[in-house]
Amino acid sequence: MRRYHSGPDFRRAHSIAELASMARQRLPHFAWEYLEGGAEEELTLKRNRQAFADISLLPHTLIPCTAARTQRSLLGTTLPLPLAIGPTGYNGMLYRDADIHLARAATERGLPFTLSTVSTSSLEQIVAAVPEVNLWFQLYCLRDPQVQQDLLQRATAVGCKTLLLTSDAVLLGNREWDKRNFVRPRQLSLRNTLNVLRHPRWMKQTLWPHGLPNLANIERYLPAEHRTVEGAAHFIGSQMDTGLDWDALARLRDRWPQHLLLKGVLHPADAEKAIALGLDGLVISNHGGRQLDGVPASIECLPAIAAVAKGKLALLLDSGIRRGTDILKACALGADAVLLGRATLYGVAVGGQAGAGHALDLLTQELRLALSLLGQPDLSQLDSRRLRLNPLSSFTVS
Ligand SMILES: Cc1cc2nc3c(=O)[nH]c(=O)nc-3n(C[C@H](O)[C@H](O)[C@H](O)COP(=O)(O)O)c2cc1C
């Protein structure tokens, strides 16, 4: 039976699940549901975990346990691990300056950090606070071409060389917890307001003295009187380009000569289109189960995509990564690297930079141990022959 440590010291957490349990206690209910929740029945959210459990590992024995080799060549650089922190919006609601803490934790470990369009620290603030950061930027396609162009110019100006266009969230998924927790946009229900008052440590650390943080990246595009959380939320809702299509991606390819990745791919035919457009990478992702409920787990979609795309562009995967063995399974099925979403958010929510670092270190230790115990200490030699797929699962490996 799993027992989760529930004390306040995140350094004593032995797993991402324990960090999650601590984050749940530290955060007010509405912020916890924002972090943890999925869309509708949360079928995809659950599937993301179950699909990893449906894959077994098949070790060879009597292989000397040499130190695991986990380096990965990705988008022209060598990373110490097949890992990057993925884009998540509104992180400052979990912990003050959370984006900066995440960027520092990643940079200390030689890993990339991805800033969301809807972040609470701006591109410029991240680079000023963490000059060494390997900064990736996630773009939501916005209707106003000038805003879009300005975001790209700012990303270039701060030295960002990798852009991820998110394609699976032009409409917001049906997140019922959001509707329950707020009586109207950005106004908490009475019950949630009372619940906030029962979290004085979070209030002091995150709210005091200015209240909820603004969306710093896009704030400048709002009229001065609307530079509030409500104004930014409304702006983003009205600006999301629902006409985003392959032609728009082709135009973006022309405008952004550096690394361009498409985030939100689940179908191999879309992977083939991305290759034809000359993209540099894909993120196989279902947005952590927060968008269309009922889609397969990303890991279930990986083998078919790897069959058409492996070696032609970088293959990244996210959604449901909570263990080193999940990273191992993704790499064995063809991913070059994985993006972390909630795993590092739990860490930052309980301990800022050190908490996010603890999450990264837990996953690193687990990955290294798993490679050694599998009898395949060299990640670059790992392939799907070391896996057994549950016959009842929907996987096929070609
Ligand atoms: C709280 C939260 C906010 C997110 N915000 C964004 C975002 O702004 N842009 C984006 O492309 N994806 C966003 N995502 C999706 C993540 O990039 C990623 O796809 C997802 O978290 C992976 O699933 P996991 O959290 O189970 O690992 C968000 C996810 C969460 C949990």
Confidence check: pLDDT of 383 > 80: yes
Ligand 1 and 119: CB distance under 6 A: no
Cis before 131? omega within 30: no
Query: Residue 114 has which token pair?
Result: 């991805």
Closest CA to 259 of 126, 84, 130, 121: 84
Alpha-helix residue ranges (DSSP H) falling in 277-341 = 298-309, 324-332
Query: Residue 183 has which token pair?
Result: 């009586």
pLDDT in tens, 272-311: 999 999 999 999 999 999 999 999 999 999 999 999 999 9
Closest CA to 85 of 98, 71, 94, 73: 98
Confidence check: pLDDT of 226 > 90: no
Ligand 1 and 28: CB distance under 6 A: no
Confidence check: pLDDT of 184 > 80: no
Confidence check: pLDDT of 397 > 90: no
Ligand 1 centroid, distance to 302 Cα (angstroms):
18
Using the CB atoms, write b or e for 369-389: b if 16+ within 10 Å: ebbbbbebbebeebebebbeb
Least confident of 5-14, 87-96, 311-320: 5-14
Give the whole-angstrom CA distance, residue 317 versus residue 135.
Answer: 18
Q: Quick one: which H or E segment has residue 85?
A: strand 83-85
- Per the annotation, the verdict on 287 as an active-site residue is yes
In the structure, how many helices (H) and strands (E) does the chain have?
A: 15, 14
Confidence check: pLDDT of 344 > 50: yes
Is residue 371 a contact partner of residue 379, using CB atoms and an 8 Å limit? yes
Mean pLDDT of 11-19: 97
Which of 101, 199, 259, 287 is catalytic? The answer is 287
Give the whole-angstrom CA distance, residue 75 versus residue 161.
Answer: 10
Ligand 1 centroid, distance to 345 Cα (angstroms):
10
Of how many residues is the chain composed?
Answer: 398
Closest CA to 279 of 242, 244, 249, 318: 249
Confidence check: pLDDT of 7 > 60: no
Least confident of 2-6, 243-247, 275-279: 2-6
Local confidence band at 395 (pLDDT 50, 70, 90 cut-offs): low
The pLDDT value given to residue 233: 79
Q: Quick one: which H or E segment has residue 114?
A: strand 113-115
Ligand 1 and 35: CB distance under 6 A: yes
The amino acid present at 380, given as its one-letter code, is S
Tell which phi-psi region holds residue 289, choosing left (phi > 0), alpha (psi between -120 and 50) or beta: left
Ligand 1 and 122: CB distance under 6 A: no
Residues 6+ apart with CB under 8 A from 157: none
CATH superfamily of 16-175+237-383: Aldolase class I (3.20.20.70)
Name the residue ranges covered by the structural domains of the chain: 16-175+237-383
Ligand 1 pocket test target in 30, 35, 88 with most atoms within 8 Å of CB: 88
Closest CA to 318 of 274, 287, 360: 287
Ligand 1 and 344: CB distance under 6 A: no
Give the whole-angstrom CA distance, residue 101 versus residue 152.
Answer: 23
